[in-house]
Homo-oligomer: A and B are copies of this chain.
Amino acid sequence: METITRTEEMLLLATCRLGDDAYGADIRAEVETVTGRRYSVGGVYVPLDRLVRKGLLETEGGAPTAKRRGRPRRRYRVTSAGFAALRAARDLHEAMWARLPELAWKRLGLSLSGLGFFR
């Protein structure tokens, strides 16, 4: 399986977290909260669409349920392939960091227990 990028990982996680309320605008707000950075509209929807095309997300058109103004929202959901990709990204992350010698952890201002020994 091909590794997802950091942006893709973040969007998948945001979608995952929002559950049934994973609309584009909310996903955007979520990644802005997590990162503390501003995201343009395109900076969210373009990668989201790519994730859909790759089969890591699925989406359904605007639901007519809510009584609210504005254009109907588009809902996103993580597919099982998406979960697998997330799992793979996490495993890679841990594999990378686990190889670091103790000395380097001090340079990073982190203690060894950040390694994930307790999983």
- A residues sitting closer than 8 Å to B (CB atoms) are 3, 5-6, 9-10, 13, 16-17, 19, 30, 34-35, 83, 86-87, 89-90, 92-93, 95-97, 99-101, 104, 107-111, 113-114, 116-119
A113-B113 Cα distance, complex, nearest whole Å: 12
A119-B118 Cα distance, complex, nearest whole Å: 10
For A87, give its contact among B16, B101, B109, B118 (CB under 8 Å). B109
Q: How many copies does the complex hold?
A: 2
User: Are B96 and A108 interface neighbours, CB within 8 A?
Assistant: no
User: Are B13 and A100 interface neighbours, CB within 8 A?
Assistant: yes
For A6, give its contact among B6, B113, B114 (CB under 8 Å). B6
User: Are B83 and A108 interface neighbours, CB within 8 A?
Assistant: yes
6 contacts between A and B (CB under 8 A): A10-B96, A17-B104, A35-B92, A87-B109, A90-B110, A90-B114
Residue of B nearest to A100 (CB): B17
User: Are A119 and B108 interface neighbours, CB within 8 A?
Assistant: no
